[in-house]
Amino acid sequence: MSRPYRSALYIPGSKVRALDKARGLPVDVILFDLEDAVAPDEKITARDTLAEELGKGGYGNRLRVVRINGLDTQWGEADARAADAMACDAVLLPKVNGVADVDALARLTGKPIWAMMETPLGVLNAAEIAAHPQIEGVVLGTNDLAKDLNTRHRADREPLITSLQLCLLAARAHGVVAVDGVYNAFKDEEGFKVECEQGRDMGFDGKTLIHPAQVAAANAAFAPTAAEIDLAERQIAAFAEAEAAGKGVAVVDGKIVENLHIVTARATLAKAKAIAALEAE
Ligand SMILES: CC(C)(COP(=O)(O)OP(=O)(O)OC[C@H]1O[C@@H](n2cnc3c(N)ncnc32)[C@H](O)[C@@H]1OP(=O)(O)O)[C@@H](O)C(=O)NCCC(=O)NCCSC(=O)C[C@H](O)C(=O)O
Ligand SMILES: [Mg+2]
């Protein structure tokens, strides 16, 4: 893993104070928002403010992603052209329904594209969206999805599980990043931790956030633990020893270790290394 995606914080493009505060926050990804966090009468000034703040720099090594308005809105096309010229790493397109939406944005920017998966059609077309050559990440928009599906909020997110898994399957099939949706009750630390752990256990790379108070818990939940790092190192060593002895299988802590477990163990160590590199900045 070349970089971690544990925490992806939305920041309204209209809020200069928050844009500045983000320069000092230990997040892995910043989602600079021009869409739902910005009121209609602030859309155009937010676009200019964001261009200026990104131009000033100071966001370090964090991935800078600009969420534009949909291309079917009055602001979308100008946002896309402006984002193409901004000092950012990728453009996030909301409410993607199918690959044609991604193609439309690809005609306006050569930057990597991330797609919000937050409509029923988008979820059903997740595989073709994730397969687009410019797509580098998918982000779950669980608020919009819950609205469109008419689901009730449940702590276990059972009504959303199929959608989450379809998007994750698409992302993994096509080798792109997958980031889980937001947890709206930003003062509920325990509920947030539980939802982070659920997303992590499902396989997401990280979680989208709405408030700085959520950063530390997301970073902790999506990082390998000391015990996982220790196990990965012991599995790699034991497997190397077994191979040297002409065996294809090792045993660690009473469990077999085969080549496929070594792939996971190496990925765990690579993720820990990528986190350490980002945090050393
Ligand atoms: C939720 C908030 C409106 C709360 O704001 P506020 O009451 O100002 O919070 P605090 O007073 O606790 O703020 C403390 C300090 O932290 C800064 N701050 C707050 N939020 C952010 C942020 N997101 N990024 C950076 N900094 C932030 C404040 O400026 C304070 O700083 P200081 O004054 O220096 O102490 C607010 O948090 C907020 O607006 N959050 C973002 C909301 C948002 O982006 N929503 C859209 C994305 S969610 C979504 O659309 C998901 C998806 O599409 C879906 O469908 O699910
Ligand atoms: Mg949304």
Residue in 87, 90, 78, 71 with CA at minimum distance from that of residue 43: 78
Ligand 2 geometric centre to CA of 44 (Å): 19
> Known binder of ligand: residue 84?
no
- Domain 7-221 matching CATH 3.30.70.930: the answer reads no
Atom of ligand 1 nearest to the CA of 118: 55
| Cross-strand bridge partners of residue 11 | 32
Residue in 142, 154, 177 with CA at minimum distance from that of residue 63: 177
CA atoms within 13 A on the CB side of 178: 25
Residue 110 is which amino acid? G
Sign of the alpha-carbon torsion through 18, 134, 83, 58 = positive
* Alpha carbon 35 to its chain's center: 17
Q: Kindly report, residue by residue over 84-143, the tens digit of the pLDDT.
A: 999 999 999 999 999 999 999 999 999 999 999 999 999 999 999 999 999 999 999 999
Residue 173 is which amino acid? A
Q: Kindly report, residue by residue over 50-71, the tens digit of the pLDDT.
A: 999 999 999 999 999 999 999 9
d(CA 12, CA 199): 24
User: What average pLDDT does this structure show over 66-81?
Assistant: 98
Say yes or no to pLDDT of 16 above 90: yes
- Residue 61 DSSP one-character state: T
Of the chain, the percentage scoring pLDDT greater than 90 comes to: 99
Q: Is the CB of 21 under 6 A from ligand 1?
A: yes
Q: Kindly report, residue by residue over 252-264, the tens digit of the pLDDT.
A: 999 999 999 999 9
Residue 253 is which amino acid? D
Q: Is the CB of 142 under 6 A from ligand 1?
A: yes
User: What average pLDDT does this structure show over 220-233?
Assistant: 98
- Residue 29's pLDDT is 98
- Residue 10's pLDDT is 98
Report residue 1's pLDDT band, with 50, 70 and 90 as the boundaries. Answer: low
> Known binder of ligand: residue 243?
no
Nearest ligand, CA 31: 1
d(CA 193, CA 210): 14
Ligand 1 geometric centre to CA of 153 (Å): 21
> Known binder of ligand: residue 188?
no
Say yes or no to pLDDT of 2 above 90: no
- Residue 22 DSSP one-character state: G
Q: Is the CB of 33 under 6 A from ligand 1?
A: yes
Ligand 1 geometric centre to CA of 27 (Å): 14
State the maximum Cα–Cα separation within the chain, in Å, rounded to a whole number.
70
DSSP element (H, E) containing 143: helix 142-149
pTM score = 0.97
- Residue 107's pLDDT is 98
- Residue 124's pLDDT is 98
Residue to mutate (ligand 1; options 19, 21, 160; most atoms within 8 A of CB):
21
Ligand 2 geometric centre to CA of 244 (Å): 53
Ligand 1 geometric centre to CA of 225 (Å): 28
d(CA 175, CA 134): 12
Count of Cβ atoms closer than 10 Å to residue 153 Cβ: 12
d(CA 54, CA 257): 47
Mean of the per-residue pLDDT values of the chain:
97
* Alpha carbon 4 to its chain's center: 9
User: What average pLDDT does this structure show over 154-174?
Assistant: 98
